[in-house]
Structures are given as C-alpha cells and as structure tokens.
Amino acid sequence: MSVRILQNKCVGCGRCLSVCPGNLLKKGEDGKVHIRNIRDCWGCTACLKECHTGAILYFLGADMGGMGSMLSVKEKGDVRVWRVDSPDGQTKTIEINMKDSNKY
C-alpha cells in the first residue's frame, strides 16, 4: 500500500482525479474519492500534492527511511504544510511558501 484516502477528510473537490497518471482514482456515489485497486498504485505522490485537506496519506515504508510513517499535505493560504506522523506518535511538519518555491 502506498496511499490511503481518509473519507472523513475528503471534500470531493476532484483535484486528485485529474493528476493520477494511472486513472486509479474515482468519485463514488457518496461524493468522496476512492482508489480503484490499491495494488495498481505505484506511489508517484501526484494525488498527495493536489489534496489540500490532508485526506490522502502516503505510506513511508522502512525501505525509504520512513519506518511506517504517514505523510500528508494541507494548504494554508500560500503555505503547504507537509506533515509526517510516525508510528510512535511523533509528528513533524515542514512548511513551504509556494510563492518562494521553484524560483529557478
């Protein structure tokens, strides 16, 4: 598993649907987004970056140093807040102002 969608945080905006390169995400009759088959997801993180409510969690496995932590993103105005929740209960956040990023 690489991503998980928290139904209670999904607002059905559809932003994630248009960016999945495998067309793996679909909107259900409940208006929430679901993944068609989790085994088809290769963890590109495109949907994660588009979800500004923190509804999509990305699994950081031991093989990439994440030791089972979950990564999510929330938007606060121009700032994206990246949050890592570790299995031991610790939380780390990284804030990036989108106005300052990608200046090259």
Residues at the contact surface with ligand SF4, assessed by CB under 6 A: 2-3, 5, 10-16, 19-20, 22, 24-25, 33, 35, 41-47, 50-51, 53, 55-56
- Is residue 40 within 8 A of residue 24, CB to CB? The reply is yes
With respect to ligand SF4, which residue has the nearer C-beta, 21 or 89? 21
Residue 45 neighbours by CB under 8 Å, 6+ apart: 58
Residue type, 49: K
With respect to ligand SF4, which residue has the nearer C-beta, 68 or 90? 68
Q: Name the token pair of 40.
A: 């088809």
Residue 93: CB minimum distance to ligand SF4, A = 18
Residue 52: CB minimum distance to ligand SF4, A = 7
Residue 68: CB minimum distance to ligand SF4, A = 17
With respect to ligand SF4, which residue has the nearer C-beta, 59 or 86? 59
Cβ-based burial of 13 (10 A; exposed 0-12, middle 13-18, buried ≥19): middle
